[in-house]
Amino acid sequence: MADAKVIPFDDDRSRSASAGRQARRRGAGSRRAGAESSAAGDVHPLPGATGRDAPAAPPRRDTETEQDAARQDTPQERRPAEDDGGLERRIASGLAFLRRRLTGEYEVDDFGYDAELTDQVLLSLLRPLYEKYFRVEVKGIDNIPKEGGALIVANHSGTLPLDALMLQVAVHDRHPAQRHLRLLAADLVFVLPLINELARKLGHTLACTEDAERLLSQGELVGVMPEGFKGIGKPFSERYKLQRFGRGGFVSTALRQRVPIVPCSIAGAEEIYPMIGNAKTLARLLGLPYFPLTPTFPWLGPLGAIPLPTKWTIQFGEPIPTDGYPAEAADDPMLMFDLTDQVREEIQHTLYKLLVQRRSVFF
């Protein structure tokens, strides 16, 4: 890779520089948000408390408003609250939340997506992993439309689908409109107890044409990883080599619904569990598509299931518009293959660029 470093990626460098600027701005904003939240919540904000609060309220969004500060207030259960007024407010909103949950007075959509639970509990549980563990850096978030349907197509890797969950947190936390990503998941997810329940509540649904088209026609942001098990369960030696993109069904779905395709490259997820072997017999016995053997798993037991703390970068590419094609284009196999290849190439190239840019796997 050493000689690859001389390839100039001017547009990207400027982009990353602007991302850096954004990050700085975000950092400043968060400090402001911390002050705001304590100011809004409390009559006598203690300067010390604000100072201590600031690292607990890490940088999350580009736009900081009063409303935003209030939103940061809500998932308070996990945050140490030191000032009385804020605590009271947090307890009150926490109790209101508890009251709604206990009496069942909340709403889910047709797919079982529980917006309240996702916002206030599930994403907050994933956020430490996103911010502290994998330190995800997001580029090109503006390529996701502010509103209306869009199909995000990403690479898939890492033995466990942590990349999909991090992508969902990234879209929600970094996008100015805080959009929710509705992921399309493999059927295995909906067979497993507990997993299927959580997946539905997080807004995921089965990767099938019907569900994808329904979500897109409702103007939702849909995420798909067309590599599927081929991508997530590939051996470590094949990292960052995109696998075949299924049958390209996602392209015809996007064409039929006339929504743009946003290519997305996730770097860093490929190294979280270096899969050096695959116990196929055991996998078949357990009914799984693969059974990973890593340097630590299953030798160290549950300890071996801890992912490596790699540094991640998620880059969203330029959206590929689909509304220019005629209505019958969705049934044209050649166009399908062309567009599928275009998306695939774009993701693969961006992956290479990200790999060249990164200093190390862990930093």
Partner 1 sequence: MGQVVLVTGAARSLAGRFVRRIQRDPQVERVVAVDAVPPEHHLGGADFVQADIRQPAIARVLAESGADTVVHLDVTGTALTGGSRATVKETNVIGTMQLLGACQKSPSVKRLVVKSSTNVYGSASRDPAVFTETTPAKSLPSGGFAKDTVEVEGYVRGFARRRPDVAVCVLRFANILGPTADTPLASYFSLPVLPTVFGYDPRLQFVHEDDVIEALRIAAHEPRRSTFNSGTFNIAGDGVLLLSQCARRLGRPMVPLLLPAVTWAGSLVRTLGMTDFSPEQIRLLTHGRVVATDEMRRTLGFTPRYTTAETFADFVRSRGTGLLPPEALVRAVDRIAALAPRGGGSGHLPTQSAT
Q: Between 193 and 324, whose beta carbon lies closer to partner 1?
A: 193
Dihedral angle sign, alpha carbons of residues 236, 240, 245, 250: positive
Out of 192, 282, 286, 300, name the contact with partner 1 by CB under 8 A: 192
Query: Which two tokens mark 144?
Result: 């996701």
Asked whether the beta carbons of 295 and 276 are under 8 A apart, the reply is yes
> What is the C-alpha end-to-end distance of the chain, expressed in Å?
17
Q: Between 23 and 117, whose beta carbon lies closer to partner 1?
A: 117
Query: Which two tokens mark 358?
Result: 């990164």
Query: Which two tokens mark 174?
Result: 């970094």
Assess 92 for contact with partner 1 (CB under 8 A). yes
Out of 25, 32, 99, 284, name the contact with partner 1 by CB under 8 A: 99
Out of 23, 39, 46, 198, name the contact with partner 1 by CB under 8 A: 198
φ/ψ of residue 99, rounded to 5: -60, -45
Burial class (CB in 10 A: 0-12, 13-18, 19+), 218: middle
Stretch that binds partner 1, among 130-138, 165-173, 208-216, 259-267 (CB under 8 A): 208-216
Stretch that binds partner 1, among 35-43, 84-92, 238-246, 329-337 (CB under 8 A): 84-92
Measured CA to CA, the distance from residue 252 to residue 336 in angstroms comes to 7
191 forms beta bridges with: none
Interacting positions 111-150 with partner 1 (CB under 8 A):
111-112, 114, 117, 121, 125
Q: Between 112 and 145, whose beta carbon lies closer to partner 1?
A: 112
Min dist CB 53 to partner 1, Å, is: 16
Of 126, 106, 131, 128, nearest to 116 by C-alpha is 106
Interacting positions 284-343 with partner 1 (CB under 8 A):
none
Measured CA to CA, the distance from residue 294 to residue 273 in angstroms comes to 6
Min dist CB 99 to partner 1, Å, is: 5
Q: Between 191 and 276, whose beta carbon lies closer to partner 1?
A: 191
* Beta-carbon contacts of residue 165 (< 8 Å; ≥ 6 apart): 126, 129, 202
Min dist CB 215 to partner 1, Å, is: 9
Instruction: Return the C-alpha torsion angle 289, 291, 293, 297, nearest 10.
Output: 130
Asked whether the beta carbons of 194 and 156 are under 8 A apart, the reply is no
Out of 12, 211, 220, 227, name the contact with partner 1 by CB under 8 A: 211
Min dist CB 81 to partner 1, Å, is: 8
Out of 52, 127, 135, 214, name the contact with partner 1 by CB under 8 A: 214
Greatest CA separation for the chain: 67
Assess 168 for contact with partner 1 (CB under 8 A). no
263 forms beta bridges with: 153
Out of 187, 318, 323, 331, name the contact with partner 1 by CB under 8 A: 187
Min dist CB 228 to partner 1, Å, is: 14
* Beta-carbon contacts of residue 320 (< 8 Å; ≥ 6 apart): 260, 261, 262, 263, 339, 342, 343, 346
Stretch that binds partner 1, among 18-26, 42-50, 146-154, 203-211 (CB under 8 A): 203-211
How distant, in Å, are the alpha carbons of 214, 215, 273 from that of 58? 35, 32, 27
Q: Between 128 and 333, whose beta carbon lies closer to partner 1?
A: 128
Q: Between 121 and 160, whose beta carbon lies closer to partner 1?
A: 121
Stretch that binds partner 1, among 126-134, 209-217, 236-244, 296-304 (CB under 8 A): 209-217
Stretch that binds partner 1, among 21-29, 56-64, 83-91, 345-353 (CB under 8 A): 83-91
Q: Which positions touch partner 1 (CB under 8 A)?
A: 77, 87-88, 90-92, 94-95, 97-99, 101-112, 114, 117, 121, 125, 187, 190-198, 200-201, 205-206, 208, 210-211, 214
